Structure formats: structure tokens, C-alpha cells
A and B are shown apart, each in its own frame.
Chain A
Amino acid sequence: MQKALLERLAGIVGAEHISWSGGDLRNYQYDGSIDRALPEAVVLPDSALEIAAIIRACNEFACPYLARGAGTGLSGGAIPERGGVVISTARLCRILEVDAINRLAVVEPGVVNADISAAVRHAGLQFVPDPSSQAACTIGGNVAENAGGLHCLAYGVTSHHVLGCEIVTTDGDIVWLGGKTLDAPGYDLLGVFVGSEGTLGIASKVAVRLMPVQESTRTLLAVFESIDDASRAVSDTIAAGIVPGALEMMDQRSTQAIEAFVHAGFPTDAAAILIVDVDGLREAVAEQLPAIAAICKRNNARETRVAADEAEREKIWKGRKSAFGAMGRVSANYYVQDGVIPRTQLPQVIAEVEEIGRRYGLLIANVFHAGDGNLHPLISFDEDRPGDVDKAIAAGAEILRACVRRGGSISGEHGIGMEKRDCMNVQFTPADLALMASLKHAFNARGLCNPAKIFPTSRRCGESAHTAASGSLPEAVAAAAGPAF
């Protein structure tokens, strides 16, 4: 990186808020996915104006840049593959405004997800999106990835809970997309900005929607001898017109790993368990709980149990939320996949996942947002065993192909980033990708803002760096990945 650019950046954020030494940079080379890449500098701005100045400086020097929150992302969205400048939102962590009667808050992008709900709980309100990493992940990252969570079945994902974003455009302009009032005139730029994985500009303020906390939330645990039965219980619940707050499934491999780790009270000899959060007015919850239990029984649940108190509820959810960590204890390495299918196809796809695991000789545990049809197969592998990494990646890609064949999607909530960019061709045609490329061009014509994400490279889906054969891409799509540096 040119010294002149470093000096400019230091002048903008102050010498104490910039780093370009090797040791510091290593902290910014990773996120929660498998990829790694070192930035050339990290800056920690304190305002939208500073972000704007950083972007203008990067433009002058044709230097790539990207924003980074807590680095908990699972698809490489915050990894600076092409080097350049990482713009950390760590200092932009203020809750600027809470307006209870209008049910909104305005926060800076570095505010931690869970802190928003904590700050508004006294008013009986909450910020609904609750990704498993909510104790660490930031709202800026949630906006970039359109994060989901355990409760999106009933309440939707991040984009449903964002009213507006002040963004710094790739020209260095500061503009609001959407705002505190609804239905801002003009194109719904906010709708497309949320979930754009940091490739269309950088959010500098976020106006979030707050929702009243439900009067009552009860949790039901149902135990099944087969995944098919549990899946049918899920479909039957939805078909009966009940949309629970959350509807989660775990297979036996997951519950065994969890029990060895946190002792959530899950039976380890059952093929599948369902966790159902029923929320709403007390009387409605009291009506729906037995109805769901009856549906589970009809589908051969061997046991249904309602958490007696808040402590038992928390224990169950703690078990669910620690599923990924638990897999990390029983397996040398694991690779979390994220695919979506129509929920009625669950039994067939789970069988396919099992078959894929057998074919590759890899154990795959399944934890998923069953109500949404959002699968999270956890593929166990050992990076020290030759060929295992490639096998895990290839098996993951096969799972994604199976999801697309069933009419689903290659990502429900983790994003495309670097991890899945070469699988975009599986789900989208060249014309679909060309439309995305034209959108990217409208926001990010220079391609310096978080380059090399989302759009396919010349590799094929499921190929890793050393198994890749080169292919060809339509020109517009190839260009959308951004210039090489």
C-alpha cells in the first residue's frame, strides 16, 4: 500500500486509530468461515464523515476497502481477499436514539445486536432478529448479511426490522435510504441495500424497528423416533394455520454432541427433537400449545414436554444455541452449511444429506430452522487428514445443489460472500446474475467496495483452490466481481 494513502488515512482517523503492522492485521484476516486474507491497513473511524473521507481517499488511490463489524460472519463477507483497507465499525457503537412510542431506535453500525433489545426492554420493546451470535455480532453486519435467527419464522429477518440506513456511498456521499418514516418516495434502495453483503456502500447509522415483547412465550420439546415423523409434524403444524415463534429441529448426532457439552436435557437416543416456541397473548398460547402437542403425538412423537418455567426454557434454548460449539468439541473441524428448501421437502432432503455424507465418508449432523426449511448441516472433517477439506467442501456443494433441485436456495441467512460465490451459477442463470451485476454497477461502479464477493469466479461450485479447473463466465458477471488488484 502506498505510503501517501496511509498518511491520508492516518490524517482522517488519527494515528491511534489506524494500523498497518503485521500483528494487528492478522486479527482482521478471518471471520467465522474457512477463508483467510490479510488487509494492508485497518482504520477505525468515529463518524460517517470519517468513513466518507476514507472512501474518497481509497477511490483516489484505487485501493479496495470493506467494512467489518464483529467478524462473526459465516461466508467471508468481511475478509479482504484483495487486500486494501478494512474499515472497522468498532468505535461506532452508540445507541443514538430510542423512541418508544414510535417503536424505533437509531443506532450506529457497531452496536451489538443483543444490546439493542437490552436498551429497550424497559419499555416493553425488543429488536427481534436474533442470530445465534447475537451477543457479539453487530447491527452493521446484520444489515449487510440480512441476518436471520431463531425467530424469523414468525417475525421475519433483519430487512423486515430496518426502517432506514444512513449510508456512505462509494462516491463518499452520505445519504439516507429509507428513514424513520415509512414508504419513503422513490425506489426502495433500502430493500436492496440490506443483505448486499457490504458491496453497495457502508452503513453509518441504522434506524431499526422495535416490536412489543410478547406477553407470554412457552417452549415445547417434542421427541421423535424418526426425522420423517418430526418433519411431518412441522408441516402439519403450519398447515393447521399455526405459525409458532420458532420451530427448530435437531437430529441425533446434534443432540448427542450438545448433551456431552451443555446438558440441556435432550434425550440422546431419539432420532430427532423439535423445539417449538409458542408466543403471543397468554390465552392464545394456552390454546396453541396443546394443539401443537397433539399434532406431534399424531406424528408418533414419543414424548412432548412443555418447559415448566423460564429456567427450563432457557436451558433448552441454550442447548440449541450451543449446537455449533458442541460440534467443535466432538469433531476436529466442522463446516456449517446453510441451505433452504420448501419445508414440505424436509424428509427427502435430509435423506439426501445423509446419503451425501455416506458417499464422502463424512459425518453430517443436522441442526435446522425447520419452520423456515433452513438447513444447517454440520459437516465433520479433519483438516490434518489429507483430502478431508476438499471432501467437506465438495459435500457441502452437493447439499446446496440438492437444495436448488428442490426449489430452494443456497443461503438462508449466512450469505454468499467468498464461500458460495461459485455456487451462484447453480441457483441463478447468466441473465439473473447480469441483473445483479447491473445493480452493483449502479451503486459501486469502481468495484472498490468489498470486491470479489457474491459474484462467481471461474471456479465451479464445490471446487477448492487446488481442485479448480478454469471455466468461463459471461463478461458482465465476471466484471461484477470487481477489478483485480
Chain B
Amino acid sequence: MAKLKLPFSVDLPRHAGSRPRIHPSECAAYSIAGRIPKVAFSPRTADEAAKVIDALRQEGASISVRGAGTKQWRPPAPRSIDAVLDMSRCRGLLEHTPADLTVTVAAGTPFADLQSALRAHGQFFPCDPVFAAEATIGGVLASRSGGALRQRYGALRDNVLGMRVCLSDGSTAFTGAKVVKSVAGYDIAKLFVGAFGTLGVIAEVTLKISPLPAREALIVAEFNRADAACDAALQIAVSPLFPLAATLHDARSLRRVRALGAPDGVRWSLLVRCGGTQAAVQRQLDGVRAICGAGDALSMISIDADRVPHAWGDVSELAGGALYPAADYLCLKIGALPSQTPAVIQELAIAFDQPEITAHPAAGLTYAHIPAAETESGLASLESFLQKCAASDWNAEFLSAPPPLQDVLLQPVPLRAPLRLMRRIKAAFDPTGTFDAGRFMAAI
């Protein structure tokens, strides 16, 4: 990668639509792992973004795409950053016909703004990402930050219908459709969900939205053992109760949620978020109580409906989000078969002294926060845990790492990952390696 020289030989302000930031003090706000970019742009539209990308690519610059910057602690850290493309000014609802259950929105729109605009129509985009207060919808998608609501509403990418993307050759393309169902051409939007901006820039998205449940309730079932709680969660998931979500937390992590907390002596709490018509919610609550009761739950508490949204907002942040200061914790996400969640939790407890654990048992996803102090003393326990994951066919992923670690950690690569195809995709979409080359996984 050629080094970006200043001043540029092209007239960047003319392309940018907004003033490029080149002063070190302004660029410092965009630093990642201590690396300060040489220039930052904040385009307001997809077309402006495309022009900036085209100009930067011609200069041989590498570009790091950014929404609100909430997930820049993800390893590996970039070796250097030439330019940051800050998409947070590319914002606003572009189309929304409530009865079509679709919305098209600029990618830099804050997730919270999108939800409140939809809520005014009794609707929402059914996911509960981390950093929900600050994150942009583009960043939520690029980082695949779906959350536990997938239990009822499907994975994040299943609710993405279409996308306008800006590519490194300076072009913009639309992929997918703006209707709830389309099989016209390749569904390339799915590739951009979770690509961390390494294939191109998500500029606009069309989403499938859902009506808000008429009623909601939250039940907290307390268990002594993680396996009993996981077992209850799986039984709920195979039942016809269809609650919205279920999450499992150890006592330390749940204490971070002020609205809930965990009473002394309780080790594991299973939270089940119920939703639907009033009668359906009642049935879900009764059904969850019956399953948990038969599964050795110590106690069960229902949270009042009006406290659910607030409490749930905090609960969502326990999966690698805002309730953990990024400088103080290493956050690992482990994917396994749902029935293996207790084994994952057990291995975490063996490998680390004080892991804080949140799991979405029905999805088989576990999130562990390891205090930075534990990893400073050496990486041996982390390495042995990752080996255990590889041997068990579990997928491990670092969501964030404190500064010294972010520089040394690489994303674990599953043995059978189709790397050859992934490298070809990167080469096909971004042949100049303009977008954050090397920051994805396996040096892609």
C-alpha cells in the first residue's frame, strides 16, 4: 500500500462535500489503537462518499470506514490508517411506508433515531445491538451486532432487504430490493453484513421492520447451575411458546444492570422476554414458569411491563457492549451448538479466574468478558481456551480487546473456514485493497 502524502494532488474538498479534516487534533478523534489517520472525511450522501473513495483510491490511500466508532476496539488493530471515512453525517430516513413494513435509511443514521422514528408508528427494526445509544445502523450491520431478539425475529441479515454500497473503484451499486421478498440476482447485501467495511461502504439500507408486540413482559428465573438454566432455555426454544428472546447471565454481569441486579447467593439468571397479544404474553409467562420450575429454578420474578424496555436495553449491552469499559476487558464471543453452551461456560470458568458471562443459549452464542488484568499476566490461558474451542468445533471471535492486546491478537480462524473463497471475494470487490486490508481475518 502506497503511503498517502499530504497535500493531495487532487482537489479533495471539491469531492468531499464537506471539509476534510487534516489537522492532527481533529484526526486524533478518529484514532484506532493509538494510530491517528492523516485525513478524515464526513460525506453527507452516498454520492459524496463515492467521490471521496474514488479520490483516495487514486492516491493509493487505505480507507477505514466508521459509523459512530463504537466497535473500533476489535482486533487486529490496523497497522496504519491513511484516511477515515466517517459516515455518521450520512443520515436520515429516506423512505418509510408503515403498511409495507419496510424502511430505507441512510447508513449513518443513529440506530436509536431509527428506532424512535419507527416506534412512532408502532414498529421497530427487530434487533437489540450493543452500543445501541450511539451506534449507527450501518455500523450495527457492518459488525453483525444483532442481539438476542434473533430468537423470535431471525438473524440481523435476514431483515436486511437491500443496500446501496460504495465500492473502492468509486462506483455505487444497489443490491437486493426495497420489497419484503426478492430473488432477483445475487443477494450481495448479506455479504456486507458482518464484513466490517472491508468489502465496501454501506451507504443506504432497506430493512424489513416489524410491528411492536402489543404487550411485553420480562421474567427472571434464578438458577444455581448454568446447565440447568441452559436446559430450560432450550426447552423454551423448542416449545410453541415463541418468546422474543432469552439470555443467560452470571451474577457479576447482571449486577451491571441497575434495573435488575442479582440477589446475593444467586449464580445464574435466565431472562426471558415475552411479547405478543396480552393472552399470548400470559401464556408465555406461565409456560416459562412451568419449564423453569421443573428445571430447578430457585425463584422467578416478573418485571413490570413499563420497566422492560429500559432493563432490556442494559441487558443487551452485556453481550460485548457499553456496560464494559473497553480499556478494561477482553471480550470474546463463542459460537457452539445450543446444547453445548454449558460446556462453553465450563471451559471459560476453567481458563479464566473472573470471566463475566452472558449467553444466548437458544442461539448457542456465549459472550465472555475477561478483565484486562488477567490477560496482562500472560496469554497462555487464552491460547489454551482457543485451542479447546478449535478442538470442539466452536467458533471464537474477539469483539474487543484493550489497547496492548489489540495490537497482538489476530482473529481466530476456524480450521475449515472457506478462506480461498473469502480471499477471492475481497479481491473481486476491493481489488486495490483500499478498505482496511488486513483487519478482517486471516489477513483479509
Contacts and interface: CB of A to CB of B under 8 A. Distances in A.
B186 A342 contact: no
A348 interface: no
B9 interface: no
Contact of A191 (B190, B199, B280, B364): B190
Contact of B187 (A146, A169, A280, A424): A146
A102 B185 CA distance: 32
B186 A195 contact: yes
A280 B338 contact: no
B390 to A, nearest CB: 12
B432 to A, nearest CB: 13
Interface stretch (A173-181, A262-270, A380-388): A173-181
A343 interface: yes
A372 B186 contact: no
A192 B414 CA distance: 20
B183 A103 contact: no
B276 interface: yes
Given A125-B238, A442-B421, A195 B183 contact: yes
Interface string B160-188: 00000101000111110111111111111
A157 B171 CA distance: 30
B328 interface: no
A440 B191 CA distance: 13
A124 B240 CA distance: 9
A429 B174 contact: yes
A182 interface: yes
A355 interface: no
A129 interface: no
Contacts of A438: 428-429
Interface string A100-140: 11110000000000000000000111000000000000000
Contact of B418 (A125, A159, A186, A372): A186
Interface in A376-434: 407-416, 420, 424, 427-429, 431-434
B31 to A, nearest CB: 26
Nearest to A181: B335
B413 interface: yes
Q: State which size class the interface on A falls in.
A: 35 or more
A310 interface: no
B221 to A, nearest CB: 19
Interface in A180-206: 180-189, 191-192, 194-196
A9 to B, nearest CB: 25
Contacts of A195: 183, 186-187
Interface in B214-268: 214, 234, 237-242
A13 interface: no
B401 to A, nearest CB: 15
A476 B238 CA distance: 47
Interface in B427-444: 427-429, 440-442, 444
A414 B183 contact: yes
B174 A183 contact: no
A413 B395 contact: no
Interface stretch (B81-89, B96-104, B290-298, B368-376): B96-104
A344 B101 CA distance: 10
A469 interface: no
Interface residues of B, number: 91
A372 B444 CA distance: 38
A187 B238 contact: no
B280 A281 contact: yes
A433 B173 CA distance: 8
Nearest to A286: B279
Contacts of B165: 435
A340 interface: yes
Given A185-B417, A187-B194, A342 B97 contact: yes
Given A241-B214, A431-B173, A373 B179 contact: yes
A187 B100 contact: no
Contacts of A415: 183
A232 to B, nearest CB: 10
A181 B428 contact: no
A214 interface: yes
B173 A429 contact: yes
B393 interface: yes
Which of A103, A145, A192, A424 has the most chain B CB atoms inside 10 A of its CB? Answer: A192
B21 interface: no
B185 A416 contact: yes
A189 B421 contact: yes
A173 B420 contact: yes
Contacts of A101: 234, 238, 338-339
Contacts of A440: 186
A157 B424 contact: no
A186 B99 contact: no
A160 interface: yes
B191 A188 contact: yes
Contact of B428 (A124, A429, A439): A439
B193 A191 contact: yes
Contacts of B363: 182
Contact of B416 (A175, A182, A342, A433): A175
Which of B97, B158, B190 has the most chain A CB atoms inside 10 A of its CB? Answer: B190
A280 B242 contact: yes
Given A342-B102, A442-B424, A186 B283 contact: no
Given A212-B242, A340-B182, A413-B181, A432 B425 contact: no
A286 B412 CA distance: 50
Interface in B7-52: none
B349 interface: no
B102 to A, nearest CB: 7
Contact of B422 (A186, A411, A433): A186
A448 interface: no
B420 A102 contact: no
Nearest to B333: A183
B280 A283 contact: yes
A341 interface: yes
A57 interface: no
Interface in A146-164: 146, 148, 152-153, 156-157, 159-160
A183 B178 contact: no
Interface in B268-292: 276-280, 282-284
A123 B240 CA distance: 12
A77 to B, nearest CB: 10
B173 to A, nearest CB: 4
Which of A173, A181, A235, A436 has the most chain B CB atoms inside 10 A of its CB? Answer: A181
Contact of A124 (B101, B123, B182, B238): B238
Interface string B86-127: 000000000001111110000000000000000000110000
8 contacts: A124-B238, A185-B413, A196-B186, A241-B122, A284-B277, A408-B178, A416-B184, A436-B175
Given A101-B238, A124-B239, A429-B174, 17 more contacts: A175-B420, A183-B335, A184-B417, A185-B411, A189-B422, A192-B191, A283-B282, A284-B280, A340-B177, A343-B180, A344-B97, A344-B100, A411-B184, A413-B183, A438-B429, A439-B188, A454-B186
7 closest A-B pairs by CB: A191-B190, A241-B211, A283-B279, A409-B182, A284-B280, A442-B424, A442-B428
